[in-house]
Structure 1
Amino acid sequence: MFWSDRVAGTRRRQAAHEVSNHGGRGLLHPVRPDPVTAAQSSPEASDSVAAASSPVARGPLGPRVETRPEGWRLVDRRGLLKAAVAAPATSLLAACGGGGSGGSGARSVRIGMVSPRTGSLRLYSEVDAHVVETMRTIFKDGIRVGRSTLPAEIFVRDGQSDRNRAAAAATDLIFTDQVDVVLVGGTSDNANPVSDACEANGVPCISTEAPWESWFYGRGGNAQAPFSWTYHFYWGMGDLRGAYTTMWGQLDVPRVVALLLPNDQDGVTFSNGVFGLPALAQAGFQILSDVPPYSVGERDFSAQVQKIIDNDVEIVAGVPNPDDFAVFWRTLNDRNYLPKAVTMSKALAFERDVENLGATANGFTTEVSWSPKHQFRSYLTNRTAEELASEYVDQTGRPWAPSLGFTHALYEVLAQALVNVDSIDNARGIADAIARVKANTIVGTVTFGGAQNVPKNVGSIPLVGGQWRQQNNTFNLRVVANNGSNIAPDGPVEDLQTVQNR
């Protein structure tokens, strides 16, 4: 062991402590690899040597090579001798720094992903699984890294819809699977702890599917001192307020809004007086101030329901998960109270969650971050949004969801960033390439820090407003407010009472 190994060990212990402080409790019980992913990974994957938190090269079965800040490289001599005995001369030359495009002996690009395969966010993983298999096909002949084309491997771990388990899954990707970069979505409950683990361990990470304020400020972000390793693209609360006011402005209803907010990171973001939903007051809406927040997993919403009824509230908005919202909605139905607008983020993202609510969900409204109507093409396949959604429906038998576009876009952003990386072993170079990328994706152009009042680590994506409408026992998400975009609405929004009494 040379000197840098001891330093790396110290840094890893410090990093593990840091992850624990960010919600990584339970890291003593590592998450087991996804059996499907493990089976489809190459047999050599588990034998690869890696140090994901530093610029130490990670060639399979070869000597460790550390790039020094001064520009020269330090080679582990004992590892070099072992490589000389165990490998042919061509492999030895490659270990010493020889170049070349992808081949059987080429160092693979190891991509990690944390997906909530179980728990309340499990529907996100169905989309993730489909996209991962699509990417394995796209990258079967390799992925371009600078001037080279290298083999690609994708490792998936289960975040279990739990912040602590998501942090543990990310740590396993970093230290067990030794990935070069981590991709993650599935709301801030999944994306934030994974991003924290990557930031602490110096591993590049791209995330999505959480309001960017939840991701940035929820992780203690400071615009004057941005994150070094983690980048995020999604819509922000200003975009959400714009979609909500455009939808509600079409209705003849009193402008009093009750908020159904959990005491989690998204609830804190939505309740923020500066950029959250209370800022709707600037558009003439009054937020009912005394509706209490609730704990995730709550089974008694009588206090919130009573406040809504006592104040004759006609607009209810919030960001509960699907399970919590289902309990709230049953409680409100039991009181025979029907508002004219129920507009929920997160809880109404998937058609299957809406179907589980039955006919009483007909007319619910939500934001639409991506749809088949969006006028973008995939950088990787040249498919349109409509074609991508149709392929998903045909191949899985499940309805499309907005998360399909964003999970697909994660790999598009990564692929375009890697084109500008000199070496896959240069973690700092990968992070810098992500920071500089201008990526054309299925959800639109992604750049980080390119918009006014947006932190350097953030790419802001606009959204539109949608309404779930039931037809022939199925639900369709119709665009009803284009929010200034070029997407043609399917029609106007209708109030919930009119829809359900028709």
Structure 2
Amino acid sequence: MSHFKNRLITSTSRRTVLKGMGAGAAALAMPNIARAQAGTIKIGYVTPATGPMALFGETDGYMVEKINALLADGLEVNGERYNVEILVQDSQSDSNRSAEVSGDLILNEEVNLLIPASTTPTITAAADQAELYEIPCVSCGAPWQAIIFPRGGADNPFNWTYHFFWGLDEALNTFVGLWNTIETNRKVGMLFPQNIDGETWGNEDYGLPSPTREAGFEVTKPGYFQPRTNDFTAQIATFKNEGCEIVGGIAFVDDFKTFVNQCNQQGYNPKAMTMAAALLFPSAVEAMGDLGNGMSSEVWWTPAFPFKSSLTGQVSRDIADVWEAESNRQWTQPLGYSHAIWEVAIDALKRSGNPLDKVAVRDAIKATNLNTLIGPVNFSTGPHPNVSTTPIFGGQWVPGEKWMYDLKIVDNSVNQLFEPEQKMKILPWAQ
């Protein structure tokens, strides 16, 4: 009989949230009744299951289902066996919602560990609640500066919240690595939304513009655009007037699709478009039709990563193949991190000695030194006391065989784990 219990709690429509998390979430909402003698570990899991960032949470419900099966007999810690109860909440891609549900998980559900799965709005709001109420928290899936700096962590390290991911500086070097492989006039137009992500990426002190200039590129940075706008005429006109042959920055899927379509309509055809966030997902690139061919972005994780899971022994290719077989969808980059976050969490709970002691769990997270599916996670070596950095590459979408587009590694200037699969090419509309 299973010792794993998972519960979906939400004030929104149950049907809506389950649909947003995928078919597997229906099974997760069915609690098992078995109990282990040592007690129950309660984990709060906050994911952008719905809303404009739902693609980032696309694999979260699926992976929680895998953890359900893995922990069917409970979790053994220091010779004792504990039930595991995962309470899943939908942040709805909104920071206010994330703060609300995280506070409820901490104060009313009394979770022992909080896991905000991905995206800056979800993580920062949840982490603030964890810090305020002194609950261990571990997260991934957003550049570490976007999680640390806006919360005041630059000068005062946090006591309860830990994050693993690559940084903006590494993303910059990846972008520059991509652009250096093609011939351009080295003029870059930068596109940033008016939100926490855009303000972080567009920051002159630690964002993309100033270091890009230092790398020898001329930067044009028009005003921030309002998310979900339907008119990029001003930005496009500015980029055309300045002769920008490259566009870089960050945008989410719908906004970038609108931008690209309007570039095409208005005769603006740069040689490269390298966009964080918007170009991570195969479904997003497919939605752009022929215009998706040749788009480039940072790469978090691919089936080519050479690491094994500390939980299952599977390699990245195994994880991707099972996902494609079971979901009938192409692998997507957050899948690797949806798996790795559980590697880190379960490892810390096991090492804590007492998973019901919040200080012991916090200290175990801090002491993490683990090889995961996405690479090593070690908070003692990070650029910040609450951070462990992870690998990043440069990739380009090209016509595929099994799927409409495949993401190929075309730059490894930041991490040399393996050689690029092919060379970067300029966009077809500029050839």
- Could you state the TM-score of these two structures normalised by the residue count of structure 2? 0.91
Matches within 5 A, 1:62-141: 104-141=36-73
Corresponding position of 1:416: 347
> 1 CA distance for matches of 2:428 and 2:243?
14
Contact 1:118 1:161 in 2 (8 A): yes
Matches within 5 A, 1:76-225: 104-223=36-155, 225=156
Structure 1: stretches of 5+ with no match in the other structure:
1-28, 45-102
> 2 CA distance for matches of 1:486 and 1:497?
29
Partner SS for 1:354: helix
Report the alpha carbon displacement of residue 37 of structure 1 after superposing the two structures with TM.
6.8
Partner SS for 2:58: helix
Report the alpha carbon displacement of residue 306 of structure 1 after superposing the two structures with TM.
0.7
What is the aligned counterpart of 1:341 among 234, 257, 272?
Answer: 272
> 2 CA distance for matches of 1:43 and 1:173?
21
Report the alpha carbon displacement of residue 461 of structure 1 after superposing the two structures with TM.
0.8
Matches within 5 A, 1:97-496: 104-223=36-155, 225-278=156-209, 279-289=211-221, 291-451=222-382, 454-471=383-400, 474-483=404-413, 484-496=415-427
Partner SS for 2:277: coil
Report the alpha carbon displacement of residue 222 of structure 1 after superposing the two structures with TM.
3.0
> 2 CA distance for matches of 1:328 and 1:196?
33
| Residue 71 of structure 2 is aligned to residue 42 of structure 1 | no
Report the alpha carbon displacement of residue 444 of structure 1 after superposing the two structures with TM.
0.8
> 2 CA distance for matches of 1:253 and 1:339?
9
Which segment drifts farther, 427-436 or 163-172? 163-172
Partner SS for 2:88: strand
User: Given residue 185 of structure 2, which amino acid in structure 1 is its aligned partner?
Assistant: P
> 2 CA distance for matches of 1:363 and 1:240?
19
User: Given residue 30 of structure 2, which amino acid in structure 1 is its aligned partner?
Assistant: Q
Q: Deviations over 1:237-264 (max 9, x none)?
A: 1111111111111100011111110111
> 2 CA distance for matches of 1:43 and 1:149?
15
Report the alpha carbon displacement of residue 40 of structure 1 after superposing the two structures with TM.
2.1
Contact 1:436 1:448 in 2 (8 A): yes
Contact 1:31 1:169 in 2 (8 A): no
> 1 CA distance for matches of 2:13 and 2:108?
10
Aligned residues: CA RMSD: 1.9
Q: Deviations over 1:66-96 (max 9, x none)?
A: xxxxxxxxxxxxxxxxxxxxxxxxxxxxxxx
Report the alpha carbon displacement of residue 38 of structure 1 after superposing the two structures with TM.
6.7
Report the alpha carbon displacement of residue 121 of structure 1 after superposing the two structures with TM.
1.1
> 2 CA distance for matches of 1:386 and 1:222?
37
Report the alpha carbon displacement of residue 31 of structure 1 after superposing the two structures with TM.
5.4
Contact 1:106 1:150 in 2 (8 A): yes
Partner SS for 2:100: helix
Which segment drifts farther, 188-197 or 35-44? 35-44
> 2 CA distance for matches of 1:416 and 1:358?
42
Number of aligned residue pairs: give it.
410
> 1 CA distance for matches of 2:132 and 2:148?
15
Partner SS for 1:410: helix
> 2 CA distance for matches of 1:261 and 1:222?
23
Contact 2:248 2:273 in 1 (8 A): yes
Give the % identical residues.
32
> 1 CA distance for matches of 2:67 and 2:269?
44
Q: Deviations over 1:125-155 (max 9, x none)?
A: 2200111001111111122333323121211
Corresponding position of 2:23: none
Report the alpha carbon displacement of residue 277 of structure 1 after superposing the two structures with TM.
0.9
Structure 2: stretches of 5+ with no match in the other structure:
1-9, 19-25
- Could you state the TM-score of these two structures normalised by the residue count of structure 1? 0.78
> 1 CA distance for matches of 2:418 and 2:291?
28
Q: Deviations over 1:154-210 (max 9, x none)?
A: 111111011111111212222333221111233102111111111111111111111
Matches within 5 A, 1:17-56: 36=26, 39-42=29-32
> 1 CA distance for matches of 2:190 and 2:133?
37
Contact 1:359 1:470 in 2 (8 A): no
Partner SS for 2:351: coil
Corresponding position of 1:73: none
Partner SS for 2:280: coil
Corresponding position of 2:6: none
Partner SS for 2:407: strand
Partner SS for 1:166: helix
- Seen in structure 2, the aligned counterparts of structure 1 residues 130 and 226 have a Cα distance that, compared at 3 Å, is same
User: Given residue 92 of structure 2, which amino acid in structure 1 is its aligned partner?
Assistant: Q
Corresponding position of 2:3: none
Q: Deviations over 1:393-436 (max 9, x none)?
A: 11111111111111111110111112221322211111111011
Partner SS for 1:303: helix
